[in-house]
Structure 1
């Protein structure tokens, strides 16, 4: 095999590190944009334009065909439609990590998985205890998930001063518990089931699987089938966003065109003499089309779709979601309501206790191992950051609470997420400063001995 000296050498590790690094960069930038969207939504909801701003998201949009009504509010299309792509991308990243990347080692994957389980079970138990016998118990799902973009955005503030394994741990944890949360949404926050629509949705999933088996590789075909599955799930009473999780986990990770075949196809094209001779040459044009398709298919569908959709999710869908759901009227807000207090306590205390406790149990039992550079003080800091449950918490709150308790729950989510993030960031500041002082002292001591 001829080496290509016009670019850096290719290493096997690049298959793992490059997609992971690209995902982190987009998440970090999206976290900043998401924060701006939240602040703008809060400002608009407490401004003279409050009524117009909040009413805008209730605008009805859709089509009606006889007895079939596909009219929904703008907020519904965002929360149930656009957010399906958010969960689709999360599922793609989860599958890529387990099959191709960082989570292939079961003992490495066991640590964030155990932490995610603890980060769901303990906050929910704490919330149910605090809300026992009170209106709003049904909203226990609001304290389960971690906002991936906000967490990665907080870590981006520290650059290389924190171990890369901490980013991998928290990213994997956030993806695990976001997928877990949406499964809970599908089962716990659905409506009365319409079995005919659910059957059609399952049939659509079967058609997607069959099309993949037959070798159909057209992305528009799968988007059309995915949209049909979403409509069936939306009409069935099962929460429609579950379609994104299922289809994401079904996406193949195997490439169609191997590296050897790609080189052979490109070699045939490059072997042709230079010039404009391909104009009118059917064979030459066919070779170019085949080479273009080979380049596309040299990446797995999971990687291609993630590269295509992740920027749209991070820079468009999530900020739009924050604008539609982050508007809370602060004037006259009562932080003493049981729902607000239960959410704050569950996010600020329940999340870190669950993440840290289950992580320790997994390592202590031998089921999991700490990755190189990942120490318990950094896990403590990261466990507080997992209490930043903004996106998924607001998403579930909109399903779980009626209008009288929804604003109180949003206040709890915003306050609890902000408090947890601040505590986590402050611990990281202390850890990085202590590490810098230790490194400086060690360096000065070594310099003295050399002198």
Structure 2
């Protein structure tokens, strides 16, 4: 079927993108710990319109990444592996476990200390790197497993965003959040009215992203919401959802994700960093991620 071939084709075409992702991450770590460390890290921290380059990549360009992943999942929900309710519920339950168990393990290591509030650290899965690693494995990983892991990673990320927004945010701007809700509702109404022009959804999607950015809630959420508001139609080659997916593949794989890898691995590794691994905070994070995440998912 066409939809299955599309999803398989997405991961196949992303294989080279996965190599670039890993190469960018390794190269960025090398530069960040070389003789040009200060200027290299400083570059990503430069401010543009009150935000660093890294912030614009994480909250701006990555919204487009989430738009693409959301469109992929929308296809699976309507006509693929997640079209059955029980199958769709499986990654949701797994994601809940994958968020709660790491947090509980972290709390167990840091219970009663001021560091207990950092329980949100081991919650999230880095979806860009997760999909990058999956793409490198190619056909050795079944397509349905890739779909499950992708859905799991997205839901896991959304749950982490929700937790951060509720417990760690400096403050929610309810006016912007209310406008964002109205915009998303408007897109859903357009969908119900069978508006099959892509431009109105993209315009409202950009406005939604702007409001989310200023609301205090992670702006990448706008990408996922926009994806599920765009009509799936019959899922064929004339579907606006299909056309947008095809258009976004190359820029996401070869521009956006590599930039994300470069910016987010520009990290200086200080001497004696291993000593921090033996602290309660370090053990809580490592055990939560390495042990808690897979145990919670299973």
Same fold (TM over 0.5): yes
Query: Could you say which residue in structure 2 is the equivalent of 1:102?
Result: 81
Correspondence 1:101-180 to 2 at 5 A: 101-148=80-127, 150-155=129-134, 160=139, 163-180=142-159
Cα deviation, residue 38, structure 1? 1.0
* 1:39 aligned onto 2:26: yes
Query: Could you say which residue in structure 1 is the equivalent of 2:258?
Result: 319
Query: Could you say which residue in structure 1 is the equivalent of 2:293?
Result: 351
Query: Could you say which residue in structure 1 is the equivalent of 2:178?
Result: 199
Correspondence 1:222-371 to 2 at 5 A: 222-255=201-234, 298-337=237-276, 338=279, 339-356=281-298
Q: Using structure 1 for the length normalisation, give the TM-score.
A: 0.59
Query: Could you say which residue in structure 1 is the equivalent of 2:40?
Result: 53
Query: Could you say which residue in structure 2 is the equivalent of 1:294?
Result: none
Output the CA distance in 2 between the equivalents of 1:152 and 1:233.
25
Is the CA contact 1:80–1:241 (under 8 Å) kept in the aligned structure 2?
Answer: yes
SS of the residue corresponding to residue 48 of structure 2 reads strand
How many residue pairs get matched?
Answer: 295
Query: Could you say which residue in structure 2 is the equivalent of 1:272?
Result: none
Cα distance change on mapping 1:322 and 1:153 into 2, 3 Å: closer
Cα deviation, residue 305, structure 1? 2.0
Cα deviation, residue 163, structure 1? 4.6
SS of the residue corresponding to residue 121 of structure 2 reads helix
Q: CA-to-partner distance for each residue in 1:378-411, whole Å, 9 max, x for gaps?
A: xxxxxxxxxxxxxxxxxxxxxxxxxxxxxxxxxx
SS of the residue corresponding to residue 240 of structure 1 reads coil
Query: Could you say which residue in structure 2 is the equivalent of 1:268?
Result: none
Query: Could you say which residue in structure 2 is the equivalent of 1:22?
Result: 9
Is the CA contact 2:28–2:266 (under 8 Å) kept in the aligned structure 1?
Answer: yes
Is the CA contact 1:59–1:73 (under 8 Å) kept in the aligned structure 2?
Answer: yes
Is the CA contact 1:27–1:148 (under 8 Å) kept in the aligned structure 2?
Answer: no
Query: Could you say which residue in structure 2 is the equivalent of 1:421?
Result: none
Q: Which one of 138, 160, 163 corresponds to residue 184 of structure 1?
A: 163
* 1:85 aligned onto 2:64: yes
Structure with larger RCO (C-alpha < 8 A, sep 6+): 2
Cα deviation, residue 126, structure 1? 0.9
Is the CA contact 1:123–1:350 (under 8 Å) kept in the aligned structure 2?
Answer: yes
Cα deviation, residue 140, structure 1? 2.8
Cα distance change on mapping 1:124 and 1:299 into 2, 3 Å: farther
Alpha-carbon RMSD across the aligned residues, in angstroms, is 2.7
Output the CA distance in 1 between the equivalents of 2:268 and 2:143.
39
Cα deviation, residue 212, structure 1? 4.2
Gaps of 5+ in 1: 1-13, 63-70, 257-296, 357-451
Cα deviation, residue 187, structure 1? 3.3
Shifted more, 237-246 versus 155-164: the winner is: 155-164
Cα distance change on mapping 1:133 and 1:231 into 2, 3 Å: same
Cα deviation, residue 238, structure 1? 2.3
Is the CA contact 2:170–2:216 (under 8 Å) kept in the aligned structure 1?
Answer: yes
SS of the residue corresponding to residue 180 of structure 1 reads helix
SS of the residue corresponding to residue 329 of structure 1 reads coil
Correspondence 1:2-17 to 2 at 5 A: 14-17=1-4
Point out the structure with max Rg over C-alpha. Answer: 1
